[in-house]
Structure 1
Amino acid sequence: MKTYQIGLLLMLFLAACAPKEEVDLLVYNANIYTVDAEFSKGSVLVVKDGLIVAVGSSEELQQKYNAKENLDAQAKTIVPGLIDAHCHFYNLGLDQQIVDLVGTKSFDEVIEKVIAFQKERPSNFIQGRGWDQNDWEVKEFPTKKQLDRLFPDIPVVLQRVDGHAYLVNQKALDLAGIDGHTQMDGGEVILEGGKPSGVLVDNPMVLIDNIIPKPQRAEQIQALKDAESLCFNYGLTTVNDAGLHKSTIELIDSLHQTGDLSMRVYAMISNTRENLDHYLQAGILKTDKLNVRSVKVYGDGALGSRGAALKKSYSDQDGHFGAMVTPVDQIEALAGRIAASEYQMNTHAIGDSANIVVLRAYKKSLEGTKDRRWKVEHAQVISEEDFEYFTEDIIPSIQPTHATSDMYWAEDRLGPRRVEGAYAFKKLLDKAGIVALGTDFPVERVSPFLTFYAAVARQDLDQYPEGGFQMKDALSREETLRGMTIWAAYSNFEENEKGSLEPGKFADFVILSNDIMTITVNKIPNLKAEQVFLGGKRVK
């Protein structure tokens, strides 16, 4: 016995005398959720050269490493850097420079905000975003009459919150050459008395896009920096920007290289001829901060503006079915072309008709291939028989706050039977094995904590409805955290470098104000990202 004790003491003595390994950061006294395969926990996190060296629970880690910086987490919760699997990062930044109409409760309030903004920041081309007629007492599309009276000589373009409709004045219509005879497939110029009312839905919006002044380089850079600051404040360390043009991707890459932008960006290229011809030929572009390997395609419009393509007509507008923004034959051709490349196809599909078009095209084009991980962005309204199409290679990319934003009127649009297949997060998870979670900001708010709350509680911030909205499709807290970290990373082909706190991965992590896994559910929306680290360096 004495011999054993002496041996043990000798071993401890030798270990104490051994030189400690030099590292950059050691975080201790933490409540760490690693989000590894076992969903294990730890209390110590070690970082060197931007990567995680070790995660554990014993004091041995503190004895083994000599850190340049030691951080006492004060028993706070640490989770992997959060990933927004579907957002519009660049557009969020641009929106900081125009009229903010999010949350307006009437068209009169919209007008008031436009007037106030124009007084504060006079412009010869007024832009705004965020109105939603479903939030108003009169739940009908507005018209341009007041804008014409107030701004007869200045074009005004006000985008709906979902990005699938514009309200514009006559000056903008004239500049774009739009009149009562203008027609485009995949959308609508809404008429009143045979003349444009001022509301354009989906594809006709491009005629207005052509007259909107393009932001200068300085404005673009400021937009990206503004968006980064907002996202870091909420603990986001990777964003999937759902639709970028080549010039913007190149700007992001250059800002990464100069150190002027740090946010990790998974860039979906917009479905344009220029983008496809360049990137499908060039192949995947991958750095530590930028990953370009997917194509964003629009299947249909949005449910709120009745642009989502449905198999049967809208329950609140007989004879109206919405529309495919990209025709069926083009989606099938695109799927074939993208399948022949290294790229992933990520397609916006809201209505049940759009979803089955996309799912069939995916299944056909992916036959005989392996590990392609194509995504259906939103996967919002699915017919019962169509859930079977989702697999480990056809992944639902969903936004939980869409459910809690739409739940007040979704049944009006869809009817009681069809709404059962809408926002079906748990069923999608059961079929595909994973779900990638995002916000779709600036359509919704940036906060990933609202995403978490909506997925788990399926209520608004006033805890409505009692008991939650279609709770059969709520996600557990563990499923939700995985969807915002490792599953989102997997959907980006990045699970070996981020999404969990494991040795060898980027040291992207967030120190939260409370324990997201145990806190009372109605307190989740008030969580704060107190400290945010990207590659082991604090960015917030």
Structure 2
Amino acid sequence: MRFLQKVGVFILLLAWAIACSQEENGADAIFYNGQIYTVDANFTVAEAIVVEDETIIFVGATYDAMKFADSNTKQVDLQGKTVVPGLTDSHCHFLGIGKRAYYLNLDGSISLQDFLDRIRTEVEQKTDDDWIIGRGWIEEDWPEKKFPSSYDLDKISQTHPMLLTRADGHAIVANSKAIQLAGITHTTPDPAGGRIERDVKTGKATGIFIDNAIDLIRSIAPSDTTPDMVRKFALEAQKVSFQYGLTQLHDMGIEWPRVEILKEMYESGELKIRLQCYISDIGDNPDTLFKNGAEVGLYKNRLNIRGIKCYMDGALGSRGAALLKPYSDTGGSGLILTKENELYPLIREATEKGIQVATHAIGDRGNRLALDLYEKALQEIPADLRVNADPRHRIEHAQIVAPEDIPRFQALGIIPSMQPSHAIGDLHWAVRRLGKDRMLRGYAWRTLVDSGCILPGGSDAPVEEGNPMIEFYAATVRKDTTGFSTEDWHRDLRLSRKEALQMFTSWAAYSVFEENVRGNIEKGKLADFTVLEKDLMTCPEEELFKVGVEMTVVGGEIVYHK
């Protein structure tokens, strides 16, 4: 009898232990009652996502998802909202996004006078000799359609040095005080890959410095690279990114000392956003990366360092993009910023050592030269001698590409990384730079996709706003946000909504070797997703760029909630 009692107690304890074990094995979180676009191979639509240890363990119906719940499981009712894989900006400048909050913002200035009024207001808040530093002006948005000058700035102040960067980052205007401090005279030569704009009569600098000439002024301006400032910029950039629904950024052109500061911020838990860092090609940055090798999956896949950002040419707006034929409005064919004998050895070594190269190329000549260098490296180093048989080198922007060069991207495995909002901004004036005949070469998303390319989508923030909803709108509608377009905009080159969503999810993941890690809402992938207020697949096109973000989730954690 006593034996049977002991057996009974044992069975009860065993049942209790099993029940407790089952309860403890519940999932971390369940997100249910949503319209979930998984962006898997079949573009499946689901209702619920189950998360365990920052990873998706189930995608499907709400009823089935609830089987993973216990008393400790966090349950989030999505209330029928649209959910997409965590959005990625495949080309931006992380610290630059944060920097916008700390310097004079000239974005949206509608005339030269508006531009000058903003500067005047900033000067009034400064003490004598303080630098005035800002960014965001675009002269093509002004009635004057011409660059500002040191003469214009000197009317406001001749005691405050000024450095004001064009929105594209490829030109600045400086006042006479800054030019004087830099020691620039009419005899100062143009640096390689740069141009000092000069008065045609006097030879005196007008205040405009293009591409590599910018450093003549920037090198004497106050440094904003102190550890404290880098941390402030990073936290601000993360906050803005999460508000836009972004879960990962491809950061183009960061230097090693700043990467080390970001690592400290990941260690402390301050940074949660996922970053793909492309190291600047300046100085010994590439050599450090070649020596260290790629660093992948750091801080639970929050940080990857496996690429180098290079420059082939300048920008179209400042007439630095390298063209096969001269510009239609002023003559000249643009600038080559990095000589072939300097760039090719870097591309070759990267190809051999498993380092991805992302080369800025905007003009058709710039794109052709970049393709030529990639092709040469791939031919000289066979796949069996590469750390990565498929290096997935990228061309950043690929804005103007000759028709005969389009097939080369797919044939060589080169990824065109493109920013749709550039088109709806540039197309207002690009016809003046290029002429009608070359407009078909511009922002040719449809042509590239039809040729077999995948297109990771970005914003180039802070050049553009950085809102992926604007990018989605631009890619699918190819009109500006007022609904304006002309025949020169070639709207037939736009993408479908499914393709545009892939640009910022699965295609973005592939472009950084993460197609097996993220980019879709699938079992086994990282639990990154973005919850939207409206359905991107069905809402009217004129509402797309206004779609708000309800929630941003990274690794199953809600990092932003409206």
* TM-score band w.r.t. shorter chain: over 0.9
Q: Which structure 2 residues correspond to residues 363-442 of structure 1 after superposition, within 5 A?
A: 363-367=375-379, 368-369=382-383, 370-391=389-410, 393-442=413-462
Alignment match, 2:479: 459
The 3-state SS of whatever aligns with 2:191 is coil
Once structures 1 and 2 are overlaid, which stretch shifts more, 142-151 or 529-538? Answer: 142-151
- Separation in structure 1 between the aligned mates of residue 218 and residue 20 of structure 2, nearest angstrom: 69
From 223, 228, 253, give the equivalent of 1:243.
253
Once structures 1 and 2 are overlaid, which stretch shifts more, 123-132 or 518-527? Answer: 123-132
* Cα pair distance change 1:468/1:462, threshold 3 Å: farther
- Separation in structure 1 between the aligned mates of residue 124 and residue 159 of structure 2, nearest angstrom: 16
* Cα pair distance change 1:47/1:317, threshold 3 Å: same
1:58 shift after superposition: 5.3
Are 1:333 and 2:345 an aligned pair?
A: yes
From 213, 217, 220, give the equivalent of 1:204.
213
- Separation in structure 2 between the aligned mates of residue 464 and residue 407 of structure 1, nearest angstrom: 10
- Separation in structure 1 between the aligned mates of residue 534 and residue 84 of structure 2, nearest angstrom: 11
User: Cα deviation per residue 1:258-293 (whole Å; 9 max; x = unaligned)?
Assistant: 011111111010002311111111101121111111
Alignment match, 1:59: 63
Alignment match, 1:69: 74
* Cα pair distance change 1:503/1:113, threshold 3 Å: same
Alignment match, 1:358: 370
- Separation in structure 1 between the aligned mates of residue 155 and residue 482 of structure 2, nearest angstrom: 38
1:197 shift after superposition: 0.4
The 3-state SS of whatever aligns with 1:37 is coil
Alignment match, 2:265: 255
Number of residues paired by the alignment?
524
CA contact (8 A) 2:81 2:534 kept: yes
User: Cα deviation per residue 1:77-104 (whole Å; 9 max; x = unaligned)?
Assistant: 1111100000011111112111100111
1:179 shift after superposition: 1.6
The 3-state SS of whatever aligns with 1:62 is helix
- Separation in structure 2 between the aligned mates of residue 315 and residue 150 of structure 1, nearest angstrom: 34
Amino acid paired to 2:217 = I
Once structures 1 and 2 are overlaid, which stretch shifts more, 365-374 or 416-425? Answer: 365-374
Q: Which structure 2 residues correspond to residues 92-111 of structure 1 after superposition, within 5 A?
A: 92-111=97-116
* Cα pair distance change 1:432/1:275, threshold 3 Å: farther
Alignment match, 2:303: 290
Are 1:483 and 2:493 an aligned pair?
A: no
1:223 shift after superposition: 0.8
Alignment match, 2:195: 188
1:27 shift after superposition: 1.0
- Separation in structure 2 between the aligned mates of residue 366 and residue 337 of structure 1, nearest angstrom: 11
1:121 shift after superposition: 5.2
CA contact (8 A) 1:457 1:468 kept: no
Alignment match, 1:3: none
TM-score when normalising by structure 1: 0.94
User: Cα deviation per residue 1:274-325 (whole Å; 9 max; x = unaligned)?
Assistant: 111111111011211111111100110000010100011001113x111101
1:466 shift after superposition: 6.4
Among all aligned residue pairs of Structure 1 and Structure 2, give the percentage whose two residues are the same amino acid.
37
Alignment match, 1:10: none
User: Cα deviation per residue 1:1-39 (whole Å; 9 max; x = unaligned)?
Assistant: xxxxxxxxxxxxxxx999464111111111001111111
Alignment match, 1:151: 157
Alignment match, 2:3: none
1:521 shift after superposition: 1.0
CA contact (8 A) 1:310 1:352 kept: yes
- Separation in structure 2 between the aligned mates of residue 379 and residue 341 of structure 1, nearest angstrom: 25
Instruction: Provide structure 1 residue ranges, at least 5 long, that are not aligned to the other structure.
Output: 1-15
User: Cα deviation per residue 1:386-445 (whole Å; 9 max; x = unaligned)?
Assistant: 111112720000000011001111111111111111100011122243111000011111
Amino acid paired to 1:437 = G
1:331 shift after superposition: 2.5
CA contact (8 A) 1:84 1:439 kept: yes
The 3-state SS of whatever aligns with 1:71 is strand
CA contact (8 A) 1:93 1:223 kept: yes
Instruction: Provide structure 2 residue ranges, at least 5 long, that are not aligned to the other structure.
Output: 1-18, 384-388
CA contact (8 A) 2:133 2:164 kept: yes
CA contact (8 A) 2:250 2:277 kept: yes
The 3-state SS of whatever aligns with 1:492 is coil
CA contact (8 A) 1:267 1:291 kept: yes
The 3-state SS of whatever aligns with 1:150 is coil
- Separation in structure 2 between the aligned mates of residue 412 and residue 149 of structure 1, nearest angstrom: 30
1:467 shift after superposition: 8.2
* Cα pair distance change 1:173/1:482, threshold 3 Å: same
1:330 shift after superposition: 2.2
CA contact (8 A) 2:276 2:304 kept: yes
Alignment match, 2:41: 37
The 3-state SS of whatever aligns with 2:187 is coil
CA contact (8 A) 2:33 2:62 kept: no
- Separation in structure 2 between the aligned mates of residue 62 and residue 433 of structure 1, nearest angstrom: 40
Are 1:276 and 2:286 an aligned pair?
A: yes
Alignment match, 2:13: none
TM-score when normalising by structure 2: 0.91
The 3-state SS of whatever aligns with 2:377 is helix
- Separation in structure 1 between the aligned mates of residue 432 and residue 367 of structure 2, nearest angstrom: 20
User: Cα deviation per residue 1:16-69 (whole Å; 9 max; x = unaligned)?
Assistant: 999464111111111001111111111010011111111012512212433521
